[in-house]
Amino acid sequence: MSLCFAILVTGQPYSDQSSKTALQFCKAIIEREHRIYRVFFFNDGVHCANKFITPPQDEKSIPSQWQAFQQEHELDLVVCVSSALRRGVIDQKEAERYNVSGHNMASGFNIGGLGQWVDACMHADRVIRFGN
């Protein structure tokens, strides 16, 4: 039986293991032929969408890993707009809206609201949270 998952990521990519563990869990879901309805990045989890995060050369870029996974599996990666704006993560549309001179949201991620998280919870068989 195939299950559908909604994933919530709330931890920073390099402050704790939650975003990396979430990514590994998502890969395991796909390998077992289950579905991911949506991955929602909330609170500090929005940093996973910051294309300017550059780890040391001996570490893999977690945002880049999420991007590659999204492209390979055409996942819906949604970043909470309120959390993102508070933490300086912004897409081109929001940058124009707030008259900000640049944007730093990585491709493959989309800005959204909590309504999209509620929608994901309603459509999923399982809801899993990674982070505090």
Catalytic one of 4, 26, 48, 80: 80
Q: Among this protein's residues, is 80 annotated catalytic?
A: yes
Tell me whether strands 35-41 and 77-80 are parallel, antiparallel or unpaired: parallel
Residue type, 17: Q
DSSP three-state, residue 120: helix
DSSP 45-111: GGGGGBTT----TTS--HHHHHHHHHHHHT--EEEEHHHHHHTT---HHHHHHTT-S---BPTTEEE
Query: Catalytic residues, which ones?
Result: 80
